[in-house]
Amino acid sequence: MKRTSAASLVALAASLSGCFIVPRTASPTAGVDDAYNQRVIEARAAYQASHAAPDAIVFAVTVQTLYGAGTVERGKADGAALVAEAAGYLDAAAAQSPADAPASLAAKGELYLAAGDSATARAALEASVEARPTLPAVAPLLGIYGEAGDARSVTDLCKRMRTVARDDERYPLLDVCFRHSGAERVEAGLAWAGAADIAYYLQARAAGEAQAADRAAARQAQRDQDAAARAAQAPPPRSSDDRPAPSAAPATVSVTLRGTCGQTVRLFFGADPKYGGGTRTSLSANTVTSYSKRPGDMIWLVDDHDRGLGSVTVGASTREVTVTCSEITAR
């Protein structure tokens, strides 16, 4: 079987997820947890068979996903034990293959971020960047610096990454640097980057916002058209005596979240991220994962200050939610 590089798996392996086996219950989330149970067993077996960095990273990402899926919160997985196990695999893989150490350390940082241990996450991500700066390690580290109000570290790290960033990483890097700069204006937040990068960023962001607005308008027009077609085809209303009872909506639906942004984005499951009362999680770059939701549940894309950038409401027919760097849509 052909192996994917460890560096690529930092961004892509989050499509797998897992947890310890637990008894099946009547809970509507039991099927989701059971699926994660099986995936972690498979990921663990793959690593124990190879002891290779790519498989250690896959296992770590399966554990990370448990937190976003709510499996740990529901008590269906021992999060602390799984994190310790995954971290041990990553440390062993990094020691065995120094070339894969930066990717293994980046995965370790993301793992501890998901588990809520920002101090350990920061140490691992800084070690990864020191060995080799890559966007999968730089982006979450900038988030840690930004939350701490450490604007100087944000600027220094952005300058360093800009010198090695690929062309396709230019906009995602400038975007995450601005969002964590603490500045209100792009010109201030990206002053370190220079006039050319600022002009490029403003133009690319405006183009992206215009495209998002066009897509939103097209979707609304299609919804209006579909609603009009259904209304035209609907049979005449019956009297209350012979009207059939409406079919019951499903208790839960399985929703696939597809992340198409080139960096990790933040999500909120709940009515309003401004007032809390929900669950915060993240979606890694180019990730596909599944959640069990009830019709009426809301999924928000939020910035690093938990301000809503957009939301969708899960319906009985919702099957997929797509998340870009600035937009969230459902179908």
pLDDT-derived band at 24 (thresholds 50, 70, 90) equals very low
180 in a domain, yes or no?
Answer: no
User: Which residue would you say has higher pLDDT here, 306 or 186?
Assistant: 186
Q: How confident is the model at residue 231 (pLDDT cuts 50, 70, 90)?
A: confident
Least confident of 91-105, 199-213, 286-300: 286-300
Please report, to the nearest 10 degrees, the dihedral formed by the alpha carbons of residues 142, 148, 152, 153 taken in order. Answer: -40
Q: What is the pLDDT of residues 164-192, one digit of tens each?
A: 999 999 999 999 999 999 999 999 999 99
Which of residues 132, 160, 185 is at a domain's end? 132
Q: Residue 248 — very low, low, confident or very high, per pLDDT cuts 50/70/90?
A: low
244 CB neighbour count, 10 Å cutoff: 6
Residue 174 lies in a domain: no
pLDDT for 239: 58
Question: Which is nearest to 8 in space by CA: 323, 301, 306, 285?
Answer: 285
Residue 296, in any domain of the structure = yes
**Over 50: is that where the pLDDT of 14 sits?**
no
Domain count, the chain: 2
Q: What's the mean per-residue pLDDT of the chain?
A: 84
Q: Give the pLDDT confidence score for residue 29 in this predicted structure.
A: 63
Could you tell me if residue 213 is inside a domain? no
As a whole number, mean pLDDT of residues 197-207 equals 94
* Residue 211 resides in a domain: no
- At residue 310, the pLDDT reads 83
What CATH number does residue 324 fall under?
Answer: 2.60.40.4150
Question: Confidence band (pLDDT; 50, 70, 90) for 109?
Answer: very high
The percent of residues above 90 in pLDDT, for the chain, comes to 47
What is the residue range of 96's domain? 6-132
Q: Which of 88, 103, 132 is the last residue of a domain?
A: 132
Q: Residues 311-321: pLDDT tens digits?
A: 888 888 888 89
In 52-117, which ranges are continuous DSSP H helix?
Answer: 53-69, 79-96, 101-114
Tell me, yes or no, whether 293 lies in a domain.
yes
* % of the chain surpassing 70 pLDDT: 86
Residue at which a domain ends, from 110, 132, 154: 132
pTM of the model: 0.62
Q: Which helix (H) or strand (E) holds 254?
A: strand 253-259
Q: Which pLDDT value is given to residue 276?
A: 59
Query: Is 179 contained in some domain?
Result: no
Name 105's Cβ contacts closer than 8 Å, sequence gap at least 6.
90, 94, 124, 125, 127, 128, 131, 137
In a domain, 235, yes or no: no
Q: Using the predicted structure, report yes or no on whether residue 245 has a pLDDT greater than 90.
A: no
288-306 burial, b if ≥16 CB within 10 A, otherwise e? Answer: ebbbbbeeebbbbbbeeee
Which pLDDT score, from 0 to 100, does residue 17 have?
35
Please report the pLDDT score of residue 141 as a whole number: 95
pLDDT of residue 33: 83
**Over the stretch 29-87, which tens digit does the pLDDT of each residue have?**
667 888 887 899 999 999 999 999 999 999 999 998 888 888 888 899 899 999 999 99
Query: What would the two tokens of residue 17 be?
Result: 């997820």
Q: How confident is the model at residue 212 (pLDDT cuts 50, 70, 90)?
A: confident
In this predicted structure, what is the pLDDT of residue 79?
93
Higher pLDDT, residue 147 or 231:
147
Quick check: 6 pLDDT over 70? no
Which of 3-12, 217-226, 239-248 comes out lowest in average pLDDT? 3-12
Q: pLDDT-derived band of residue 246, with 50, 70 and 90 as boundaries?
A: low
DSSP 187-212: HHHTGGG-HHHHHHHHHHHHHHHHHH
* Mean pLDDT across 134-147: 94
